[in-house]
Amino acid sequence: MTNTKYQDSDTKWDDSEFHQQPQHHWWKKHQRELMLFTGLSLVLIIVIFWLPAAIDPVNAPSAAATQDSPNTSAENSSAAIASNSTSLESPWQEAQTAKARREAQEILAKLLDKQNSLEKMQVNLWAKAAFSQAMDKASEGDEYYRAREFTKAQQSYNSTLEQFDALIEKSSHEFSQALANGLTAIDQQKPQAAIDAYTLATAIRPHNQDARDGLARAKVQDNVILQLEQAENFQHQYQFSDAKSAIEQALKLDPQSQPAKQKLSEIKLAMADANYSTAMGQGYQELDRGKFNNAIDRFKQALKIRPRDQSANDAIVQANNQRTQQNILVAIENAKQQEQKEQWQPAFDNYQKAQSLDKSLVTARIGSLRSQARATLDQSLQKLLNNPLRLADPSVYRSAQNLLADARAVKPRGSRINQQAAELEQALEKALDPIALMLRSDNQTEVTVYKVGVLGLFTEHSLELKPGQYTVVGSRSGYRDVREEITIQPGSNTQTLTIQCNEKVSIGS
């Protein structure tokens, strides 16, 4: 069967002349006789002029012509058969034959369209036998058509049409199966099988994007497999970074590669395991060196890799405990050394630090009490020694005497407490020794020394005062008062002070 479409070249039957309205009554009355006469005349003309030529052997169709499609062979065979049948068939039969021929040609046109569709889908690649069988059935229809057995031709053509429809329906299944086979072949790392499957899919559906994409993937699978193999080798050598790079290259070639995705997950997991082991190992090394902060940092890195890992959590707790114990030991040791150096306030601070880390420590608690008491004593002694003039106050003097007694009785003793006690004792002695003070005036200014009394008018006046601070005031009628503050330091030499009123006060003021 060829792709040439069938056209009926015979003259179509037209019975419109039998339906014309008569113009005269006579025509209507003799219409039947006239029709019969006309038909007989046509038969006579055919027998005399056409039939001898039709049966002439010289003009008979060649064997090659009989093998042409119904479009050409139908005209030749119908002409030959008409010589025998025209005289036998009535016009009604001819009309029915023409109708059957037209219907056969309509079916044939559908066959040609579906044949073209199947051939475009490369039907011989996936249903060669079925398609060949259908074509044979169509050829059978052609034989019937040439024999002017148009009804049987229609049956053959319809049978072929059904087979073509079945093949077209089957193409969807074949296409889906080809896509599935291609995907399976890629997942199983069978590049050629994948190329074959997707090639078939693109043959069936040339414009389908899934088939095109699948074929493109299939064509790079050799390189993808090569990258996967390299990644595997790198992984066995614990070169995880190189393995990861190889897998990323494979995914660049085929972003949908499931083996590559699985291998990438596997390598990432292996890298994470290696990083976890490294972090934990480094953490314990730092712990052994007593570098607790560094150890905790490493354990925390391991915990980031495995957020709920109990080993990493336990290691952090262990490092924290050891760091706490170490800090306690260091604080207590520092406090003891500071006590030996009579650095009581720093010692107290370290004992307090140890207590804050572990409130149950008896050593830290007792040390805090002892160092606090000594720090208080030390600060009180130093405060008096820094300002001995306060000893001029009788109450301060008495407190200083008590403080000196405590300083002499305290134990353990050291050079600092001994020196502070000696200095305080000397300060107390000097606090009672009077210091000479020479006052000079103009014999017109009345001089008063607070805490001592009114000295009156004089030119020179000598007196002895205990160490301390004193206020000297001079007053004179008509003059502005003068006021002087004087400090008598313990153990100082004789001091001289001039006090007199020199500034007159105006009447207006």
Model confidence pLDDT, tens digit, residues 109-150: 888 888 888 888 888 888 888 888 888 888 888 888 888 888
* pLDDT at position 28: 53
Say if residue 148 is in the same domain as residue 69.
yes
Domain that holds residue 241: 220-308
Q: For residue range 171-213, what is the model confidence (pLDDT) as tens digits? A: 888 899 999 999 999 988 899 999 999 999 998 998 999 999 9
**pLDDT value of position 36:** 62
Does any domain span residue 486?
yes
> What residues form DSSP beta bridges with 437?
463, 495
Q: What angle do CA 134, 137, 142 make, to 5 degrees?
A: 130
Summarize pLDDT for 302-318 with one digit per residue, the tens: 999 999 999 999 999 99
Claim to verify: residue 355 and residue 394 sit in the same structural domain: yes
Instruction: Identify the domain boundary among 398, 413, 432.
Output: 432
Query: Tell me, what DSSP letter sits at residue 48?
Result: I
Question: Do 52 and 164 share a domain, yes or no?
Answer: yes
Task: Return the percent helix, strand and coil in the chain, to nearest 5.
Answer: 70, 10, 20
Angle between helices 128-146 and 150-187 (to 10 degrees): 170
The answer on 373 and 294 residing in a single domain is no
Residue 213 is predicted with a pLDDT of 93
Verify that 377 and 469 share a domain, yes or no: no
* For the chain, percent of residues with pLDDT exceeding 70: 82
**Bigger pLDDT: 222 vs 4:** 222
389 versus 423: the higher-pLDDT residue is 423
Residue 201 domain-assigned (yes or no):
no
**Statement to judge: residues 447 and 427 lie in one domain:** no
Decide which of 474 and 78 is more confident: 474
Kindly state whether residues 53 and 120 are assigned to the same domain: yes
Note the pLDDT of residue 44: 54
CA 295/CA 287 separation, integer angstroms: 5
Residue that terminates a domain, selected from 369, 401, 432: 432
CATH number at residue 494: 2.60.40.1120
- Residue 374 and residue 501 share a domain: no
Q: How many helices (H) and strands (E) does the chain have?
A: 20, 7
In this structure, the answer to whether residues 106 and 183 fall within a common structural domain is: yes
| CA-wise closest residue to 70 among 147, 161, 137, 155 | 147
On the question of pLDDT at 225 being above 50, the answer is yes
Does 325 map to a domain?
no
- Residue 40 tokens, joined: 């007989």
pLDDT of residue 87: 47
Backbone angles phi, psi at 237, to 5 degrees: -95, 10
Residue with tokens 């160490």: 467
- 182 in the same domain as 47: yes
Based on the domain organization, do 178 and 265 belong to the same domain?
no
- The enclosing domain of 300 has a CATH number of 1.25.40
Residue 139 belongs to a domain: yes
Is residue 402 in some structural domain?
yes
Domain end call among 401, 432, 463: 432
pLDDT score of 71 more than 90? no
Q: Say yes or no: 366 and 413 in one domain.
A: yes
Confidence grade of residue 58 (pLDDT, cut at 50, 70, 90): very low
Q: Residue 83 pLDDT more than 70? A: no
Residue 37 lies in a domain: yes
Q: Is residue 10 a part of any domain in this protein?
A: no
Residue 21 resides in a domain = yes
Number of domains observed in the structure of the chain: 4
Q: Percent of the chain beyond pLDDT 90? A: 46
Average pLDDT over residues 383-398: 86
Report the C-alpha gap between 379 and 416 in whole angstroms: 12
Give 179-190 pLDDT, tens digit per residue. 999 999 998 889
